[in-house]
Amino acid sequence: MYPKQRQELLLQLLAQHGFVSYRQLAERLGVSEITVRRDMKALQDQGLVEKAFGGGQVAKVSSELPYMHKRIMQIGEKSAIAKAALQHIEPGMTIGIAAGTTTWMLAQSIVGFRDLTLLTNSVNVASELCRNGYADILLTGGLYRTPSDALVGPVAERMARQFRTDVLFMGTNGMHIDHGLSTPNLHEASINRVLMERAAKVVVLADHTKWGIEAMCSFAGLDEIDVLITDKLPGDAERQALQDMNVHVVETPVPVASDSLS
């Protein structure tokens, strides 16, 4: 196994299990602990993981990780959230789907709904919808931006303003009671704002790791969303605050994996 492949697998294990010891990682990867420490150092230099006593964990930062890395993080949580989001789709709707890895998983799950019109600023989302047999897909165009793989900028915003959606599904990099929804990039904050303004209902899809993160650009207060679908809330204070804001919260707990590391 090449170092890059090994590091991808290591990152996936950390994302799935949280903290993992060097010994556990070495056993799962079939390499020495020295090799694991070397790979951890490489990932740490990229800002992807944090060293902890005896092992490592995924870095919890407000800066952006590469799209391919984000796709493998919290897979179980994102899948459960995406399935719960399907309850907000009805045949004949015009649906907005903002760029993101959880919304990408939602796009994979949208199957069998008739007469949908779909608007997105994500090539990845559009590809999944096309693969599922949908033809009425409106792609905003605009500047292609990595690491989120989103279409942003004046062209994307101008296109988005031409349409009214029944429901918008969107993710977020950060979620905070006071700071609201946020992203590290000004252009993404701007297109997210436009998509929200053109939607009759806004549904945010965000797993628990987004709580407490305050990225650079806030694009909406939590009181501006209608529904939050998450795997779990941090505590009663957040639950009460959201209730006071009239945000409908759907929690989708993920069953404990049977193949946990030992």
Which of the residues in the chain have pLDDT under 70?
A: 12, 14-19, 46-47, 51-74, 146-147, 255-262
Strand segments (E) across 27-179 = 49-52, 55-58, 94-97, 117-120, 137-139, 143-145, 150-152, 167-170, 174-176
Do 3-62 and 71-251 have matching folds?
no
Rounded Cα–Cα distance for residues 17 and 1 (Å): 22
What's the full length of the chain, in residues? 262
Mean of the per-residue pLDDT values of the chain: 86
Rounded Cα–Cα distance for residues 210 and 183 (Å): 11
Q: H/E element holding 251?
A: strand 248-251
What are the φ and ψ backbone dihedral angles of 171, each rounded to 5 degrees? Answer: -105, -170
CATH fold for the domain made of 3-62: Arc Repressor Mutant, subunit A (1.10.10)
Q: Domain residues of the chain, as ranges?
A: 3-62, 71-251
CATH fold for the domain made of 71-251: Rossmann fold (3.40.50)
Residue pair 248/228 in contact (Cβ under 8 Å)? The answer is: yes
Instruction: Dump pLDDT digits (tens) for 64-114.
Output: 445 445 554 567 788 999 999 999 999 999 999 999 989 999 999 999 999
Which strands sit side by side in the sheet containing 174-176, from one edge to the other?
174-176, 180-183, 217-220
